[in-house]
Every structure is written in structure tokens, then in C-alpha cells.
Chain A
Amino acid sequence: MSDNSDSKVRRVLIVGGGTAGWMTAAALSHGLRGTGVRIELVESEAIGTVGVGESTVPHIRYFNQTLGIDEAGFIARTRATIKLGIEFRNWAREGDAYIHPFGAYGEPDGGPDFHHQWLRLGGPETMGPIDQWSLPIAMAKAERFAPPSDEPGALASTYSYAYQFDAALYARYLREFAEARGVARTEGRILDVALDPETGDASSVTLESGRRIEADLFVDCSGFRGLIIEQAMKTGYEDWSRWLPCDRAIAIPSASTDALPPYTRASATEAGWVWRIPLQHRVGNGHVYASAFMDDARAEGLLMTALEGEALAPPNRLRFLAGKRKLQWNRNCVAIGLASGFLEPLESTSIHLIQAAAGYLLDLFPTGDGDEAARDEFNRTMAMEYERVRDFLILHYHATERDDTPFWNHVRTMEIPDSLASKMALFRERGSVAGYEHGVFLEPSWVAVYLGQRIIPARHDLAALAVPEAHARERARALKDEIAALAMRLPLHRDRVGAPRATAGSAA
């Protein structure tokens, strides 16, 4: 223990393992090393974990790097594949497909962003899909991958990447990491949470075994039920289902096929969407749907039809409500993961929101004395993270031309948050993206989804006219060829991650 610390927070109890619990345990054990703060995690093998977050965004690499995790070892242990983006099928119209890549279109040339030039040269009709000007999309389609170049301005530096991995294996990997750094793991089911009658703070939890564990700070990673934040503290929930009506999911793993695509797929259905996440050893599949518009049997039927390989386990069923806790840090309890809120994994943000919460918790780590300002800051910041992801998700549903089912009619015509309406207006008007500094999805992501959802701006940035048209056209043509050629020169994704071919042992 440190000799001069006056912090009253000496014991942290993380309630629940799973991805959220072990990511938090790993981050805290690393960040609090040397402070003498004791970290304990209680989990029960009897309670299953949800593990929906098998697909990630590039920020996960920063999380791993901070912990000093070696990439090759991590890829091998978690059976990870590379992810260059998400392919959206059937969203704006049935039959449509586009990829939201981790990277900007074109290459930086000092002028307006490439999509303005693309619009100026005629947009989709004349130029064809803007996908042709994205190196990560070309790589994704060719199932090829090499890490981005760090040479500024180089075409090969214009993308980033994330992973698709087995979340259960990742949690196990981080458990080893955390335990090696002193996190004590306790197996057991929690029967009771005691609150201090005066302050309302949580004081202890009691396990089935009868053991009582006291702590100064509780991190609630107990999943949807929110054992402390909700069941004990009655914090309340902000319901966002009027914008995001999907409330159920069925998940099922299937055998690998010959392909090993370095991207996630999200295919829209009558009242939801089906995911496909290729890992080294299997494919994760699932169907997220709105029960008000589709029954469970129909949902399962559509999912089973979509499987490309043999099912490897019985389906796992989930229920949820889009939204977030009114306070994600209430009194001396911080909720992380599904206990803090739920946003469907359409843009693979579940793990990112865990990472963000664990990071802010460290930035604002409490001391048991005057923590109100830190708590307010945490709640304000996390609310902003959630709302920004929420708006981005709503965009996928709302910006559609689909009118083939009551579900699509509902999301197409519903009222949307003002924060999103003004963003969409700016893009529709002139192809500009409303900027922010903090949030998962920055400008290139918004551009990709706007265009993919067929929001074609009425006008482009006027400054695109500064380049003579013939010159711009020639440059775009050459760049398209360059991108296609460069992608084909890169190694195969399968070789890169060292995944064996499925064909030999066929669905073993």
C-alpha cells in the first residue's frame, strides 16, 4: 500500500465476469498497480455470459496496447480474425450492399474530402459506387490484409482495423492477465446486496456460500439485470426503444466455410437484421429483431436459413431493451457493460462502450471524499458516448427506402432525435458531416453510412470545383486502379492470421 494516499477507496468489487467484468478487471489492475487498491471479482459459472460482442471497432487495439498485450498471441488465443469494416446488406433497399470501412475514401490531397469530388463528378450514376475508392473495402472483398503503413499521406496509411474474436476466449485471456496482477476471483452466486441505510451506498454483497464481501467501490458487470445499479439501487432506465425497436436476439455458431472474410456482415431482414462474424474456428451468427413485428419462430427460421455452415450449438435467446441507465455511476456503484445499458451490436460497439467506461473510471477514479464532480463527469461523458452511438444506429434504420414491411414503415417514418436530424440535414444539403471530437464514429464512418443508406447530398462542397473537371476525373480513375491493384498485392487474410483452411477437415 502506498504510504501517502488518503484515498478511502481501498477495495473494489467487480460483480460479474464475462467480457465486461474481465475487461474492467484487466484495465483496473493495470491502471491501479502500486496504489494498494485491492480488486476482487465475483462470478458464477452457473450464470451464462451473453458474449454478443464478438466484433469490435479499431479502438480495441489501443486497449490491448495499453495493457501491453502482444497482438500475435492475442490473435492466436482468441481465434481472432481481422476486421476492416461491416458489410450492410438490404438496408436502404432490398438487394443493396455496401461496406462501412475503417478508413476514409480516396486519399488526402488538401482539398475537400473525396466524396465531394465523387459527387461533383456525377455521384453514383456516373461514377458508380464510392466503395471503389476505399482501400479497406477492396482488401475486404479480396480477403486480403496487411497492417496500415505509418507513412503519412501514403495510400496504404488510409485505413485502420479491428478484430472479430471469441469473446469468451478473450474474457479468459484477460482473466489470466488480471489474476496475474493480483485480482482475486471468487466463484459464487450473489444472493443479497446490502445498502447503507444512511447513505444509500452499497456496503456489501452476500454469496450463496454465506460469505459477505465488503467493498468501497462496486463495479456492476452483472449484465442486463443490473444486480446493484438497478435491483438494489433502483437507478432507473432511459428507454430508447421508440427509436430502436429491436428487443430480441437469437445467436448461434456455425461451422467455418472456405471463405475467411476480414469483415462482419449485417443483413437486414423483415424486422431486424442477421449478423455473420467469421472467426478462425467458427462463424458467429445471430438475428436481432423487433418482437412487435416478428415472432420468435419466424426469426429463428430466417436465421437458420442464413447459416452458411452446419449449426454447432443450440440457439441462444436474448431479450433486451435499447437504452441506458439514467446514471451509469450511481452512489458508489459504476455499471459497465450490459448493466449500464444496451445498444444493439449493429456497429459492434458493445466492447467499445465497456472499454470507454473502464477508461473513464480510471481517469476519474474515486477516493471516497468529494467524488460528486467525478461522478457527474463520468455520467455526462458516458451519456454522450451512448447518445452518439444511438444516433448513428438510428441512421441505419431511418435512412431507408424500404416500405415492404410494417417494421420498415415504422422506422422510416418515426420521429428521430434532433441531434440526428440536424446532422442528416447538413449531409443531405451539402455532404458535410457535423463534427465532434469525442465519440466512436468520426467523419469517414458517417460519410460511409449516409451514402450507403442512399442519402445522396443535393450539393457538394463548392471548393471541389477548384480542380478542373477533366483533371479530377482522370485522377479518380487512376486512384481507383491504384487501389484495386494495391489490394491484390497484399497477403491473404487467412495466411495473415494463420487460420487453417476449413475445407480439409470440413466443418470439423
Chain B
Amino acid sequence: MSAPAILIAGGGMAGWTTALALARPFRGTGARIAVIDTPGPDVSLGPLAPAIATLPSAQDAHWALGLPEHRVVRAGRGAYRLGEFWRGWDGREAAAFLPFGEVGADIGGVRFHQQVARLQALGETASLADHALSSLAAAAGRFAIPPHDAADIRATLDHGLHLDAEALTGALLRPVALAMGVTRIEGGIGEVELCTDGLIAALRLDDGRRETADLFIDATGPDARLIGALEAAWEDEAAWEDWAALSPFDRAAAVIRPDTAEPAPFTRDAAHPWGWRRTMPLNGARGEIVMFASRHMKDERASQMMGGAEPAAVTSGRRLSPWTGNCVAVGAAAAIPDPLASAELALVHAAALRLARLVPWPGGWRAEAEEFNRLWRHETESARDFALLRHLLNRRPEKVWAAAREASAPEPMDRRLALFAARGRIIRTEHGLYDDALWARAFIALGARPRHHDPLADGLDAGMLKARSARIRELAARAAASMPRHGDFLARVNAQDGPR
């Protein structure tokens, strides 16, 4: 049996990440992996992703791709993020922090956020985030990698990254993939040749070359050149599910611009009367995204705000079956999540690493595609809903924000809201990108107040809870003060040649 030939169309971050995910396990199998490295800016993660924020799960994914994190940070002009500062979502200018990592500790079946809610019911004022080391460290501009010693409170830390997508692709993803034997084909994509059975036969490059393969990966971004060409043959199966109705914000722009200030170790999201703005510190630069309602702000104003970047229409949505026939779409060709979900890279990582375990033998694909798409729907659903939470729970006075509140929550979001509203509980889902504790913190950061906390929390001794709470805050404060400044930490990472 011959090992398959896999052709990846589109040489951006999505394409080269997928190439890496396939190259490692298939080295030595005879499988041929090639990337058509298309010219022009990288839109493989969508038009709003020159800079991206990753979730903590990117650490595992990078490890699986054989990329030491310090090399990712260095190559991607990266900075660390301990969580997200959310300002203005409550309609006043209060800021809330969404910390990554662990916060406090459950007692038996009583989650930590329920313990804090009980203390608040008893009149204590400390918030959930006050107990989070990552929250205190972020506020102080400090950062550390968690130590292995579980008894050290710094072991509760966890982080994502801010990355410059093109820089990372050029300086790390592409060269590592090439070193692993991936073939690079330079050129633009011309015509997609289909067989009568709806499979892709070959790709024509714009110079007339014809490339064939057993499996085609569409990493061409929102244009979705390959999977888009299949839509006619496969009808609903390959079609795009539009999420526009979930958000009143219809225009957006993104940019990376120079910034020599010490990068803050967190993402800053600010809600404004016209929409919201996200700031992602990088090393020597910062990425910014604005998303707004065209009825409330003109493109020119947004462009001014964004150093000349041109706004464009928002195109959030997903394909329900990004794997159709012998074509698998990744990146923005498969889904464009709301940037507030920080899910662009997580979706690529999940898809690429799963694909590596499901690469079909020549001729077969149906069983593999079904499994791939089933898990994909869970992943994209969680990304959709995590961003949607900030629309549905905002408390701003403006009409456009009122409209954001009114969007009807799709399944399972409706259940998620109902269960939290009653007792602050989190529904059980599978294959999502965010863990239960993070969901609970997101609700709380947005000021959601359940009708009552979990009745099990009432069984815990109030004095013990108070003492524990004080102790955790004290340990966290002390540990935060002992951590290096984020800028110094980054400087060390960037100065080193070898692993730390």
C-alpha cells in the first residue's frame, strides 16, 4: 500500500502549522507533504489575526508539534498573558480580570467560586479574582512559568501567548517544517479541478502547474478556495454557518503597530459605546482589534483609531463539515471565531493534531471525516459561546449593546445560562476549548450573580472558609511580589539561544 500524498494549499500560519502536525508523525512513512506557499499577507486565520492571543492549551499543542515554547515566543515576537482584563462590559468603567490557571481549591464537591460566593453572602468583599495569583501578578506587571513543585502557589499559574502570526510562521513554523521534509511549492492557486464524484482531482497553480494529491488541506483563509469549490457538489454538507445574527457588530479592523513600552502580561478588552477594542502586547509592538457597529461608528473613525488599518465586514461563522470528501479545511477556511474567544490558533491546533491521527488511506475518508467533524462541532461551538457570553451578559446602556444582549442563545448556551443563573453551576460539555472553572470565572467577571450559590457550600464552616480565603490571598500577594517583571522575563527569553 502506498502512503498518501497530502497537499496543503495556503502557506500561512494555518497551513504551516498543519504541515508540522503531519510531518512529525509521518516522517519515515513515505507520506508526501507539500505546502503551496501563496504570496501576500497571511489571512489563513482570518482577516483579524495579524496578532493572536492563544489559550493555555497552546502549550500542550506546541509541545506536540515539537516546538519549545521559548522558541515560539522568540520567533513570534511573543509576550505572555496570564489572563484578560475586561473593562466597561458592566456599563460602568469597572475592570474585571479573567485569570488563567487555578484559583483557590475545591473542597470535596464544592468549587472554589462557590466558596467565594458563600463568603460574599456572609459579607466578605474579596472577589474571586482577588484569590488568583495570576490576577495579582498581572496587575503588578509580573510573570513566571509555574514550577513543578505543586506545593508552591506559583504552580497555580498558567498562561497563553500573544503572537505575531507572520513572524512566527516565517521564523519558526516554515523552517522547522521544511527541515522535517515538507516540500514548499511557491505560487498562487488557480483552478480547483473536481472529479465527477465531487472529490478534488488536482490544483492548478496560476502559472499552469498541476498538483495532485490524495488529501487536500484548505488553508487559504476566508476565501476557502478548495472547500468553497466543493460547496456546489456537496450542498449543505460543506456549507458555511453564518454567526452574524449573534452579534450587532458588523465591522472590524486589526493591526500590529510598534510599541516600545514594557508589554503587560495580559490581554486588555475594553467595551465602548460603539463596540469593543482588544489590545495584545507583543515584544516591541502591540496587536489591536476593534469591532464595531457601522451604525454607531464610521469606518474613517475606526481607521484613524487603528493607525490607518482599513475596516472590513465581520464574517464570523463556521463550516459544520470542514472535512468533506478528500478536502479538509483548517483556519479561517473552516471557521472564523469572534476574536473575543481567543480561539483561532486553538482551533487550528485541535484540527491539525486530530487530522494527524485520522489521515485516511488512499480511497477512504468517510469514517474519518465523520469523527473529525463531530469533534470540530463541539470545539467551534465552545468558541462561539465563549465570545457570545460577553454579548449576552453585558450591562451597557447603549442600544447596540442592548441588541447584543437580545441575541437568542443557541443550544447549549441557553442551558449554560440557565444553570449558572440558578446556582452558579456549569453545564457538562465535551471537547470544548475552555474548562469549567474558566467558564465560571467568565460569568463572574461579567458580574453574573446566580440567584444563590451551591447549597453544598453552606455545609462548610464559615470560619474555616474565611481563614482559607485570607491565607490564599496572602500567599498570592507574597508570591506576586517575588515574581520577575514580565519585561525582564521576556528579555531573558529573547537573549537565550538554548532552552531555559
Contact = CB atoms under 8 A, between A and B. Distances in A.
Nearest to A422: B370
Given A7-B455, A377-B419, A31 B108 contact: yes
Interface in B348-394: 356-361, 364, 366-368, 370-371, 374-375
Interface string A393-436: 00000000000000000000000000000100110111010111
Contact of A2 (B418, B421, B427, B459): B459
B461 interface: yes
B425 interface: yes
A475 interface: no
B304 interface: no
Given A465-B3, A466-B25, A466-B26, A422 B455 contact: no
Contacts of A437: 430-431
B455 to A, nearest CB: 4
Given A4-B121, A373-B419, A430-B364, A462 B26 contact: yes
A6 B361 contact: no
A367 B361 contact: no
A362 B108 CA distance: 11
Interface in B56-100: none
A6 B452 contact: yes
A374 B415 CA distance: 9
Interface stretch (B28-36, B396-404, B479-487): B28-36
Interface residues of A, number: 53
B103 to A, nearest CB: 19
A459 B27 contact: no
Given A430-B367, A462-B4, A463-B29, A377 B428 contact: yes
B360 A430 contact: yes
Given A462-B26, A462-B361, A463-B29, A434 B452 contact: no
B460 interface: yes
Given A35-B456, A426-B370, A437-B431, A371 B25 contact: no
Interface in B143-181: none
A345 interface: no
B473 interface: no
A111 interface: yes
Taking residues whose C-beta sits less than 8 angstroms from the other chain, chain B's interface range is 35 or more
A314 interface: no
Contacts of B26: 462-463, 466
A463 B415 contact: no
Contacts of A359: 109
A371 B29 contact: no
Given A9-B455, A34-B459, A430-B360, A377 B25 contact: no
B283 to A, nearest CB: 32
B423 A374 contact: yes
A430 B368 contact: yes
Contact of B109 (A7, A31, A34, A432): A31
A199 interface: no
Contacts of A34: 458-461
B495 interface: no
Given A2-B458, A66-B108, A435 B425 contact: no
B120 to A, nearest CB: 11
Given A462-B3, A465-B30, 6 more contacts: A34-B459, A377-B419, A430-B361, A463-B356, A466-B25, A466-B28
9 contacts: A37-B455, A370-B451, A371-B422, A373-B415, A429-B367, A461-B359, A463-B26, A463-B359, A466-B25
